[in-house]
Amino acid sequence: MRLSPNYACYSPMLKAKHYLVRGRVQGVGYRYFALEAAERWGIRGYVRNLPEGEVEVHAQADESALESFKQELERGPGMARVTEIVENDLPVSGSYSSFLIRG
């Protein structure tokens, strides 16, 4: 069976998550750390700083990749101190073709 390049967007195994990362996560390279982790696990979506000092992550991938990605987000880069990650399910969308740093 030949799959189109957009097959992952329609895969029933694909999940989408919203992570709100709290702690010392701005000004410590956290977004670049998240980008590298996302590329390692094949995550699509984005990461961005929020005005309140938190980092927001939208992530789309299969469940096992998302679990591994979240473990890395909990650890963060060396200078970060993650105190909490609030996780919520999101509807799967086909709007992400890669993982980006926004704002």
| Percent of the chain predicted with pLDDT > 90 | 83
Instruction: Report the pLDDT averaged over residues 56-76.
Output: 97
Query: Which range marks the domain in which residue 49 is found?
Result: 12-91+98-102
As annotated, the active-site residues are 31, 49
Quote the distance between the C-alpha of residue 3 and its chain's center.
25
Residue 7 maps to a domain: no
What is the token pair recorded at 41? 């696990």
The band of 3, judged by pLDDT with boundaries at 50, 70 and 90, is very low
Q: Cβ neighbours of residue 3 under 8 Å, at least 6 residues apart?
A: none
Query: Out of 39-48, 75-84, 92-101, which region has the weakest mean confidence (pLDDT)?
Result: 92-101
Is 67 a member of any domain?
yes
Confidence (pLDDT) at 12: 60
Whether 37 is covered by a domain: the verdict is: yes
DSSP 8-state code for residue 96:
-
Q: Does any domain span residue 1?
A: no
Q: Indicate whether 78 pLDDT > 50.
A: yes
Which CATH number belongs to the domain containing residue 35 in this structure? 3.30.70.100
Q: What is the mean pLDDT of the chain?
A: 90
On whether residue 22 sits in a domain, the answer given is: yes
* CB-neighbour burial class of residue 13 (10 A; exposed 0-12, middle 13-18, buried 19+): exposed
Q: How many independent structural domains does the chain possess?
A: 1
